[in-house]
Each structure stands twice: as C-alpha cells, then as structure tokens.
Chain A
Amino acid sequence: MLNRVTRLVPRARQLDPGRFLHGGPQGPQGLAVHLDDRVPDETPRAGSRPSEDDPAGAGEQREDRHYRIPLQDLPTVFAHGLPRRFGLQTGTAVLAGVSWSLGCTLDPVAQPRRRTGAGRAAAPSGRRVCSAPLAPARPASRVCQVKTFHEACLLVRRPALELLRHLDGTNFAHPAVRYVLYGEKGTGKTLSLCHVIHFCAKRDWLVVHVPDAHLWVKSCRGLLRSAYNRQRFDQPVEASSWLKSFKTANERFLSQIKIQETYMWNKRESTEKGRPLGEVVEQGLTRVKNATDAVGIVLKELKSQSCSGAFRLLVAVDGVNALWGKTTLKREDKSLMAPEELALVHSLRKMVRNDWHGGAVVLALSQTGSLFTPRMAYLPQELLGKEGFDALDPFVPVLVSNYSPEEFERCIQYYLENSWLQHEKAHTEEGKKELLFLSDANPGQLERLCAYL
C-alpha cells in the first residue's frame, strides 16, 4: 500500500516539466489528470520460470516476471532487427535450415534436443533478418542474448507495463497520444519499446517501426537531390532497406489498404488511385531512386487512413531526438545539412505529429547514437532541444530507470537458471552484492558484467 502511494509522487512530477516549460500547443487538458488517477494494480512477484503469457492479455503480465517472445514472431515483428546484444543471444545454429522467404515456422514441441519445449522454435537471429544498415547500431545487451539462449526473454517492467495498459485503454477517437520513453544510458528504453511493439503486433496493429533514427542522419552514402522537392535530399539505401523490413513486418496490411490518390513516379510509371499499398512499396523496392518518395507516400497514406478505423496504427521510433538534432551529412558544397533537408526525416516528423487519430505514437530517446549531444544528457529537454520539444509537446513522458531490488534479483535468477553466470562466486551472496555494486542496478552494465562471469 505504502509503495503505491509513494510512487504517485514521481509520476505527477514527470508530467510537469514536459507540459509547462514551453508554451506549445496544449493537448487534451484532461490527459494529465486522467493518467494520474489510474493507478495500475501491481503485484510484484519473483517468478521462478520465464512466464509464457500471451502478450494479448496485458493484465496477466506480472511485473518482475520474464516474458518470453516466441521465436517464430521475431522475424515478422522485429523485421528491422533487435538491439545488437539482445539478438546475439538467440540461437543461429538452430536456424540453419529455415528459409525465411517461405515464412515457415517450426513446431517448437518437435525439437527434442531443446531443454524446454515451448518457445524454442528456430528463427534467424535478429541480425540476419534485417539488412545491415537498419540493424540498431547500439551494442545493447539483448541481441547477443537471443542468439545464445535460443530464446528471447524480456523482463516485464513497470514502464512497459504502464504503457501497455495505457495503449489498451486508448480512445481511438482522440488524437494520437505520444509517449516518450526517456532515461539514462542502459536502462532499457529500446527493449521497452520492443515489448510495446510486440504487444501491438500481437493485437494486429499496423506497426511503423524505425529502429534507429540516428542512422538516417549520419554516414549515409548515395544522397540524391529529391525529384519531388529540389530543396530536399533522398536517401535511397536507407529508404529501400526500411521498405523491405516494413513489407516483411506488415505483409497482410499491404494488400488491404488502398491508396487514395494517383502517384506519378515519372513519365511512364504511375500508381493509380485504388491500388493496394503493396504496389507503392514494390515500386520503392524495385526503383531505388523512388524509395524515399515511396516511404513518404506510405506514411502519408497510413496517417490519413488510420482515422477510418480499418486498422490501428502504432508509430514506434527509437532515437527520435535525431529528427531534431544535427546531421553529419554534407551537401555538394561541403556544408552541413540540417535534418529538415532530408526527405525521410521530413516525412517522419509529419508522422509523429498528433494531428491524426486511430492509433498511438511511442518514441524512445537515445543519447548513444546521437550527434553533438553531451554524454550525460538524458532528459527530453536536453536531447530534443527547443525545436524538438515544441514539436512533440504535449507528450506523456515515461521514465525508464535502473532495476529495482526485486527486478535485479529476478534478472540474476534468470541468468542463474540459464547457467549464464558460470563463475562459482557469482552464485554466492557476496558475488551478488558485488554485481549490484559494480553495475549500480543498471540493466546494460549488469548484462555486460554477467557476460564474462
């Protein structure tokens, strides 16, 4: 009881800086009050085995339990790839015979060599599924984990759980609510985002996932002047790889959604009104020069049609501070470009506005891949800058912090169960205390420590 009361205070404080510092457009006034009133009933339990709850029942997901994502979901839901260290820990040897293009899934029970039957179906590691440029660049823990353990397990934590409950109760007639996950380095923002994406994918939402917006503003080769608008630049490589993963992830929607305008690609090629969205994606994939425009069209169509109620749209962007930061890309005269001169960034900025309804926008900030931001910066104010903050205001900030003592214990238990902690002293109380001290309960640091112990 006391725990619940004390936690209300930080939640209220979270909303204040986000709302009143800048005189931006005020969102639904009732939103702040509404969220404060809803106290999620937490039942923290230290579970012994990773639970296999279906994400569709968010209420059944207990805090401090590991939630296992079925491996056959990984290639479709996380077509862009998982964070690097997370995906590396899922087995590749198992995946050797599986053909992705056929989209076949192995029956998990029919694998006699696996220790536990469920959730151990073969699936390629996150790194192989997506094409290289879009693999999230950060060396986070979890990609390695999926490859080594042959299972993708996420710890169910409070920020993700809160987000899921809010998403469950979204009112689709209201403008899209923007949730911004922020926190210090290594606390689990990207994985919370992955959790939310998996949840929404299971509920049949259409997920527009940008795994790392920082990759769009640095080290891009093959910049072209956009044909649509001479002031902007196209990025054919990034756009085409994004389209490929988008197609894998949302195959079933591409034939259902019909475009509402005719688009002329050039004198000979055009896509008429009423054709399925898949044709626009195909055009972007075959003609790489038109890929960026295809991305723009896809985003525009999804935004306008989500209001109709045919599908629910989730826009998930990681490293969203890249959209309002600086780039390291140069024009022909060697001067640095501003992000708004990139057509991809321009379309994505329009996507994360709250002038549409029928879905939600979940964003995660990241200092790790960002350019020209101080290392210790983690608050939305610092990372987004004035322009970005005004553009995103009003949003719901969700703080992702280090592990609580129960979560830490649970994480250590998970490693011990998987025999990941091999050092004999790591099993003792002394060892655990030392791990807590060395990692300061930071999930990223703990994972790196346990990797070599």
Chain B
Amino acid sequence: MNAVSHRFRTLRSLSAVSRHSLRLTQVRWSRYSPEYRDPQTDKEYYRKPLAELTEEEKCEQELRKTQLIKAAPAAKTSSVFEDPVISKFINMMMKGGNKVLARSLMTQTLEAVKRKQFEKYHAASAEEQATIERNPYTIFHQALKNCEPVIGLVPILRGGHFYQVPVPLPARRRRFLAMKWMLTECREKKHRRTLMPEKLSHELLEAFHNQGPVIKKKHDMHKMAEANRALAHYRWW
C-alpha cells in the first residue's frame, strides 16, 4: 500500500512499549478522497486506436469516463520534453515558491553542461569523441544515479541511546538523498559569488564521472554503514 505509506510516517524509534506496533500519524493531507484517480497527461495513451487496446486498457478507459480525476498540478504538462526527475529536482531547488527562478536555473545548468561537453568534444581526438557524452539529460540522470546510496543509516533508540543502524533504503529515499546532497553541496560548500548553474553543472559532470564531493559523501555513508554492521539486528522490519 504505497499510496498510503508515503503520507504516513512510522515512529520507528518508539519500541519501548510495544516492539512490533507501528503508530501512524498523518503527515501530508490531501483534499482528495481515495476514489480520485491521478490525471493521465500522456498524449500517446489517448492516441491509441481502439483496435490496439487490450481488454484491461479498454476497461480502464471506460472507468475514466465516470470516475473522478484529480486536477493536474501546474507543473505537470503533456510536453514530450517533460521529465519527472528534472521536475522533482526543480522543486527541491525552489525557494519561497519561486518556481520560475528554479526552472530557469535548471535550464541554464543543462545548457552549461551541454556547452562544456561540446568544448571537450571539439578539443578531443576522433577516438575520444565517441566516448564523450553530450546529452545533458543522460548526464543528469546518470550523475544522480551514481550519487544514490545503496544503504542508509537510521537512528534507533535502544536502552536510552540512539544507535545509527544500517538499513536498506527504498528507491524514493535514495533519489531524494542524491538530489539533497547535490543541492547542499552546491549551496553551502562553494564560493558565494559563483552562480548556481555554474556550480551545479560542475558537480553534475564530476558525479557523472564518479568523482567529486557528492560521490565521496555517498561512500562515507557506505563506510559508516559497514562500520556499524554489528547493530544491524536492531532493525525489526
């Protein structure tokens, strides 16, 4: 029940009273009741001719005619260039609701990545040119994938002390951590006069080649988890 779990936070550390109970508190509310379905913005879905649809898809389309559908958020479009990872990153970069600024920073970052790669491409020899990746989107996705930790640490309360216990992370938590580390690195560890697109493009390119401070942070997390592996049995899920 993933739809439920992301809105509820489990108080994992309270194990004193009943070790196996999970107390659920609602963190994010939604104005929509459960029968509302998510909007489908993919143009290809609607363009499929009737003959090609399977029974399941026909049934779903019938249901969509009568069921209630949520309103699509403003940032979700039917554009062919839309990318959910990029949208999520833009949201994380956004401050004070200034989506226009966040989005323009993102586009400038992608442009900067592209120009740097083109410079390298033109400077390289013919054999190296084949290895140089110039698509900013593949670089972005690959960089974030390289930054995702495999295992994470969670503080668990035992006998009055908090222990950092190594724990497998769900996919969304890994993606979140990768983006968070990337943004924190750019915002805090760089010189304040450098612009975000410049900093971010540099970090993304380094992460793409498995180098740089964000990758180091991921490795540090892995090493800590390895060091604390004796505490792994504190985890009960």
Contacts and interface: CB of A to CB of B under 8 A. Distances in A.
Interface of A: 88, 91-94, 113-114, 144, 147-150, 419, 422-426, 428, 430-431, 434, 451-453
25 contacts: A88-B115, A91-B119, A91-B122, A93-B122, A93-B123, A113-B124, A113-B125, A144-B115, A148-B115, A149-B118, A422-B134, A422-B137, A423-B81, A423-B135, A423-B137, A425-B81, A426-B81, A428-B80, A430-B43, A431-B80, A434-B79, A452-B108, A452-B114, A452-B136, A453-B81
A428 B79 CA distance: 13
Contacts of B79: 434
B205 to A, nearest CB: 15
Given A113-B124, A147-B115, 10 more contacts: A92-B119, A144-B115, A148-B119, A149-B118, A422-B114, A423-B135, A434-B80, A451-B107, A452-B108, A452-B110
A422 B136 contact: yes
Contacts of B115: 88, 144, 147-148
Interface in B94-129: 107-108, 110-111, 114-115, 118-119, 122-126
Contacts of B111: 451-452
Nearest to B115: A148
Interface of B: 43, 79-81, 107-108, 110-111, 114-115, 118-119, 122-126, 134-137
B80 A430 contact: yes
A434 B81 contact: yes
Given A93-B123, A423-B137, A452-B136, A148 B80 contact: no
A426 B137 CA distance: 12
A231 B110 CA distance: 51
B80 A425 contact: yes
Contacts of B43: 430
A307 B119 CA distance: 48
B134 A419 contact: yes
Nearest to B113: A452
B157 to A, nearest CB: 47
Contacts of B107: 451-452
Name which of B118, B126, B136 has the most chain A CB atoms within 10 A of its CB.
B118
Nearest to B139: A422
Nearest to A433: B80
Contact of A94 (B108, B122, B134, B135): B122
A425 B83 CA distance: 11
Contact of B81 (A114, A147, A148, A431): A431
Nearest to B83: A423
A258 to B, nearest CB: 46
A234 B236 CA distance: 81
Given A93-B122, A422-B135, A451 B114 contact: yes
A26 B72 CA distance: 60
B109 to A, nearest CB: 8
A51 B7 CA distance: 60
Contacts of B81: 423, 425-426, 431, 434, 453
A117 to B, nearest CB: 14
A41 to B, nearest CB: 38
Contacts of A434: 79-81
Contacts of A431: 80-81
Contacts of B119: 91-93, 148
A150 B122 contact: yes
A20 B83 CA distance: 54
Contacts of B122: 91, 93-94, 113-114, 150
Contacts of B108: 452
Contacts of A144: 115
A430 B44 CA distance: 11
A426 to B, nearest CB: 7
Nearest to B77: A434
A149 B122 CA distance: 8
A451 B126 CA distance: 24
Please name the 7 residue pairs, one residue from A and one from B, whose CB atoms are nearest each other, closest first: A422-B135, A452-B110, A452-B107, A425-B80, A451-B111, A452-B111, A148-B118
Nearest to A113: B125
Contacts of A91: 119, 122
Contacts of B125: 113
**Taking each of A149, A426, A453, which has the highest tally of chain B beta carbons within 10 Å of its own beta carbon?**
A453
Nearest to B117: A422
A428 B81 CA distance: 11
A150 B125 CA distance: 15
Contacts of A425: 80-81
A335 to B, nearest CB: 36
Contacts of B137: 422-423
Nearest to B80: A425
A425 B44 CA distance: 13
A92 B122 CA distance: 10
A91 B121 CA distance: 11
A385 B114 CA distance: 43
A434 to B, nearest CB: 6
A151 to B, nearest CB: 10
Contacts of A147: 115
Contacts of A428: 80
A422 B132 CA distance: 13
A150 B115 CA distance: 12
Nearest to B44: A430
Nearest to B123: A93
Which of A92, A93, A148, A150 gathers most chain B CB within 10 Å?
A148
Nearest to A93: B123
A154 B110 CA distance: 24
Nearest to B137: A423
